Structure 1
Amino acid sequence: MNVTVFGTGYVGLVQGTILAEVGHQVVCVDVDAEKIGKLEQGIIPIYEPGLETLVKENHAAGRLSFTTDAAMAVAHGDIQFIAVGTPPDEDGSADLQYVLKVAETIAEHMAAPRIIVNKSTVPVGTADRVRARVAEVLAARAGAEQEGEALTFDVVSNPEFLKEGSAVADCQKPDRIIIGTERDASVEVLRELYAPFNRNHDKVIVMDVRSAELTKYAANCMLATKISFMNEMANLAERLGADIEAVRQGIGSDPRIGYHFIYPGVGYGGSCFPKDVQALIRAADDIAYDAKVLKAVEARNATQKTTLLDKIHQHYKGELAGKTFALWGLAFKPNTDDMREAPSRVLMEALWEAGARVQAYDPEAMEEAQRLYGSRDDLTLCGTKETALKGADALVIVTEWQSFRAPDFTLIQQQLAEPTLFDGRNLFVPSRMASKGFTYYSVGRRPV
Structure 2
Amino acid sequence: MIRTCLSIVLAAGEGTRMKSSRAKVLHEVARRPLVLHAVDAAMAAGSTETVVVAGRDAESVISLLSSSDPSLRHVSQEQRLGTAHAALAARRVLEQGFDDVLILFGDTPLVRAETLKAARAEIAAGTAVCVVGFRTSKPQGYGRLILEGADLVAIREEKDASEAERRIDLCNGGVMALDGRLALKLLTRIGNENAKGEFYLTDVVAIAREDGLPVRMVMADEEDVLGVNTRLELARVESLWQTRRREEMMLSGVTLVAPETVFFAADTVVEPDVVIEPNVVFGPGVVVRSGAVIHAFSHLEGASVGSKASVGPYARLRPGADLRAGAKVGNFVEIKSTTVGEGAKVSHLTYLGDASIGAETNIGAGTITCNYDGYNKYRTEIGARAFIGSNSALVAPLSIGDGAYIGSGSTVTEDVPADALAIARTRQVVKDGRGREINERNAARKAAKT
Same fold by TM-score greater than 0.5: no
Which of structures 1 and 2 has the bigger CA Rg? 2
* Structure with greater strand share of residues: 2
* Structure with greater helix share of residues: 1
TM-score under structure 2 normalisation? 0.31
Instruction: Between the two structures, name the one with larger relative contact order (CA 8 Å, sep ≥ 6).
Output: 1
